[in-house]
Copies of this chain bind each other. A is one copy, B any other.
């Protein structure tokens, strides 16, 4: 791991990292409370399709996690995204990239990158622990859409992740190269989950979202659904997410009504 840059502003430190990997290093950003706490929980922030590690909703969520909860937050450029975008697709909007490649091929390419994304996140967890997180500090996961495509297989195999926000995805998935593997991973999830759906999602039909929520193996899971299209999640869900992580890191959903 190499620290490429460090800034600090109003109690919030931000490190720009390169996580060393065989083949291709993973560009990462870590947001931290500006204190020497040796142990903090950290939330892995997995961006959506066509976006990158400093997409606006990612950085806003990171800042809330640090300032409101005293957590760390970590984002990476996932395969084919951010600094890892293939040369022919650079400078294009997510919609332009998807149109150029075609939705089915776009989804198949993302799906085929699942194992890589899981490896990248596991190496990133190792790196973040090296920054000072205690051995026992838990990790949360946040990832919608592409972030759920990668996050369900990751959470199924990664015991250091103790809670997750998923959503904007379906069962069956979309363009999955290993639909059976994804379905099995969904069943294997046991950590508490907050699952977000958009009731009028144009990319993932309603029934598939409901089916994916239903299949999650977790005993403690909550579905939040709101009217609107794929990207129109209303502002109160930011509050829901912060509240969800607060409850988990303080000892579980059942322990408190605060």
Whole-angstrom CA separation of A197 from B220 in the bound complex: 14
Instruction: Quote the shortest CB–CB distance from A208 to chain B (angstroms).
Output: 14
List CB contacts (< 8 Å) of A210-249 with chain B: 210, 213-214, 219-227, 234-236, 238-240, 243-244, 247
Since A222-B226, A235-B257, A239-B243 are in contact, a sample of 16 more A-B pairs with Cβ atoms closer than 8 Å, ordered by chain A residue number, is A197-B223, A199-B223, A210-B210, A221-B227, A222-B236, A223-B224, A224-B224, A225-B225, A234-B254, A235-B254, A235-B256, A236-B243, A236-B247, A239-B257, A239-B258, A240-B240
Instruction: Quote the shortest CB–CB distance from A103 to chain B (angstroms).
Output: 26
| Majority DSSP secondary structure for residues of A touching B | mixed
Q: When the two chains form the complex, which single residue of B238, B247, B254 contacts A257, counting CB atoms closer than 8 Å?
A: B238
- Residues of chain B within 8 A (CB-CB) of A254 are 234-235
Shortest 10 CB-CB contacts between residues of A and residues of B: A223-B225, A235-B257, A238-B257, A222-B226, A236-B253, A239-B257, A224-B224, A236-B247, A222-B224, A234-B253
- Residues of chain B within 8 A (CB-CB) of A226 are 221-223
- Interchain CB contact under 8 A, A220 and B235: no
Chain B: CB-nearest residue to A216: B227
Q: Mark A94-128, 1 if CB is under 8 A from B, else 0.
A: 00000000000000000000000000000000000
Instruction: Quote the shortest CB–CB distance from A237 to chain B (angstroms).
Output: 8
